[in-house]
Amino acid sequence: MAANGDPVRRELVALLPRLRRFARALTRSADEADDLVQNAIERALRNLDGWQRGTRLDAWMFRIMKNAWIDEIRSKSVRTRVFAPEEAAVAVGADGAAAMETHLEAQAVRAAMAELPEEQRVVVALVLVEGFSYRETAELLDVPIGTVTSRLARGRAAIEARLQSHTEGS
């Protein structure tokens, strides 16, 4: 379906980078993230009548994605995953040392985030990466706001500890 005729479809297309980022946080896999985004977009397009104009389309999409991921987890038995970050290329002509340092820092953060328990990883992704408020995150995940606060605090502390030990080990 072409995105140029319908404003909702245009908004969905504009949301794709954010949806993919959130899917990566959920799945820890680029391939599975792409599949999850596609699944969520298909569900959204089939159920557009379930979205109320005037409400946040991004929050609706993130909820669909979270539910699609839960369905995916339930449909598979035991799942063991090892996080393997996407291969990243250094831009030609860029300051190699600075680019490599930035790449290594981003890789360390991704690795630290991937080691978080899912409930912390999802909250960190929604609040710190996607910019949702604590209240919006609580509504999206259907948990009390205090749960969001505690999961975020534990997630931040775990990431900081991991990064600190990574820095000391270097």
pLDDT tens by residue, 37-69: 999 999 999 988 888 888 899 999 999 999 898
Q: What is the mean pLDDT of each run of 10 residues along the chain (170 residues)?
A: 66 93 90 93 90 89 91 61 44 58 74 89 89 91 93 92 75
Q: How many beta carbons lie within 10 A of that of residue 3, not counting itself? A: 14
**Does pTM top 0.85 for this prediction?**
no
> In the prediction, which pLDDT does 39 show?
93
